[in-house]
Chain A
């Protein structure tokens, strides 16, 4: 999460906003529990934009701000976004995050976020005038502005308020790799990124994950590790029945506890989908399949 945050200029929103579920993280860790409340078995599932083939977010945006690119990525065009937030409502995974305030142009203090620049002053200057003079700086005090400029990743656009954002699969890294490959290829047409040659980039989360639980790569290349992971029979898609055709797939968790260990005991399995459907009005709370490995 932190790797993603620093790579993608994800704004830090402060305690007040996190309390209102307005955090901006592009990737979150969902937890699911099985077994008794006193001694539950917990599994974590990283949840991020699933880059659906039939993405529900795309068809509802009136201004074409979210769309497919030719590589199958679901991309956000921040410039086009007017912020109807319909995409978030229609996303079954709810992985889109909205810039409720100008987080990058305000000191992260509850009062500053809520006060109107029409009536406030920063550094003794009317905020509206300040903003007109330099819209990028906004209402950050001079010293914070100098610092803020250095903090950001220059390859990723900084989003303003009223704009939706979400995981891009570190699009900027893919683009950099493609440019590098094109430079190297010169007149030949050998521009395809391949894992064998090590030209496929890693996403920030993949790079930071010590358990190597996240795999990213070229689905069209049958030799890539992501294609191989997808061939395993443990592979599944979250909310597959909605036919969103997500490109992100998961591998079901395998547990192999040692029965010889002194604290070893039988743990109940999570619900199967049959059990899950049998009980009337039973879905939702803690009944999802556990999951681990993310893969593209």
Chain B
């Protein structure tokens, strides 16, 4: 048997011809030095300035909570019949942002998307901090904050369980589970990198600090084998959570009978919106960071482009959902739903309103801001020129989050302010407390995020090394070839 004649030398697979995930053929040592250098280097001036601002805003957040708690929900702009306002809008907005992290780390991991390695750590941190910001709102928005624990199934003096038919109840479980699993997943992934920090530590405090949380990691084969198994299991556990959390949040609305809320499309529509805003936020955070921390070779233009593509995809789903809501309002023949979509939302004073001979909707500007930011803006990502221009992507990513905030505003406020009986129609305007409370959560978010980039490796060092060309001996640039060393 002579098979040698039949052996052919095949061209390398296409994916090897793609732009490498780590630029400039950077070596493994360089990667460690650069990422650990962010923590080990001197504190940059911009960091100190941002941290001071964030800390101030975080203080504002807590002062506002104190004022609210001591005085009453009336300090907010809520009024009959708009019983939910900024608090719920901000809750849904932050929790939506918190979706990108787990999607990137869990779903993209299961789908073997190697590009996730450069961004997953920061995105997961963003998720955790965003969920923390989100978690504040449902608690403080209730009338008697000190009794918020009655929503948990803890035995209390009333002798009754919470009511499991209420979507608010489901929220408590969905959000707390999501937060717990996200933190676990994030921490799991951190262990090898914390060990790196421990081994590089030059001060005793660092050695003990990182060493404590590195849980005695030595990098042995057994450790890696256990680690990878656990990581896979957690990825599997997190994946359904990505879909469930925002589905449940959307049920807060969909379960009610209010026109504009009572829609079966809500769960998938909310999940798409959440991923859309989450990627928007990741782009907003990482584009300046890669520049300021000189990580352009690790978070490459290709990474940004890929994120833009995901944003485009989910953004288009969101646009489709908007169109479908209007179609169903018309097709169902429900006069209240038709009324809501035309007269509470879409009717502007210039085109749509005059076309249908109706008065402009009180919040038409909110609706059209949402449409422009969530339907028009992502369509720019079809163009490679846009995707590769960092400044443009940064600007558009901010618009994405503006749009998503207005989406929640439109859903919550325009549905509530004019419903079935005209005599109970009203209007809603936030007070200064609402606005400062919202801005305050940015302080909370950025305080944590800045601490994160300063004290925890913001890129998964071990994972990025695994996707460099050098790690793959079959890669044309891989193995111990020239330029593969550093």
Contact = CB atoms under 8 A, between A and B. Distances in A.
Interface in A70-85: 79-85
Contacts, number: 183
Given A60-B167, A62-B166, A284-B422, A162 B80 contact: no
**A interface bracket (residues with beta carbon within 8 Å of B):** 35 or more
A189 B330 CA distance: 58
**B interface bracket (residues with beta carbon within 8 Å of A):** 35 or more
A186 interface: no
B163 A64 contact: yes
B421 interface: yes
Contacts of A85: 78, 83-84, 142-143
B78 A100 contact: yes
Nearest to B149: A82
Nearest to B158: A80
Task: Identify the interface centre among B160, B166, B167, B172: most chain A CB within 10 Å of its CB.
Answer: B166
Contacts of A93: 420-421, 424
B71 A82 contact: no
Interface in B421-470: 421-424, 426
Contacts of B150: 63, 80, 82
Contact of A242 (B74, B163, B166, B257): B257
B67 interface: yes
A60 B166 contact: yes
A153 to B, nearest CB: 23
B484 interface: no
A281 B151 contact: no
Interface in B162-187: 162-163, 165-169, 172
Contacts of B80: 21-23, 88, 94, 97-98
A61 interface: yes
B383 interface: no
B339 interface: yes
Given A56-B256, A92-B420, A281-B343, A82 B70 contact: no
A133 interface: no
A162 B160 CA distance: 20
Contacts of A83: 73, 142-144
B226 to A, nearest CB: 40
B420 A239 contact: yes
A63 B423 contact: no
A66 B168 CA distance: 15
B81 A94 contact: yes
B352 to A, nearest CB: 11
Interface of B: 66-67, 70-75, 78-81, 83-84, 141-145, 147-148, 150-151, 158, 160-163, 165-169, 172, 252, 255-258, 333, 335-336, 338-339, 342-343, 356, 358, 416, 418-424, 426
16 contacts: A21-B81, A30-B423, A61-B166, A62-B166, A63-B151, A64-B163, A82-B143, A82-B144, A83-B144, A86-B256, A94-B80, A98-B143, A99-B72, A118-B66, A277-B333, A281-B356
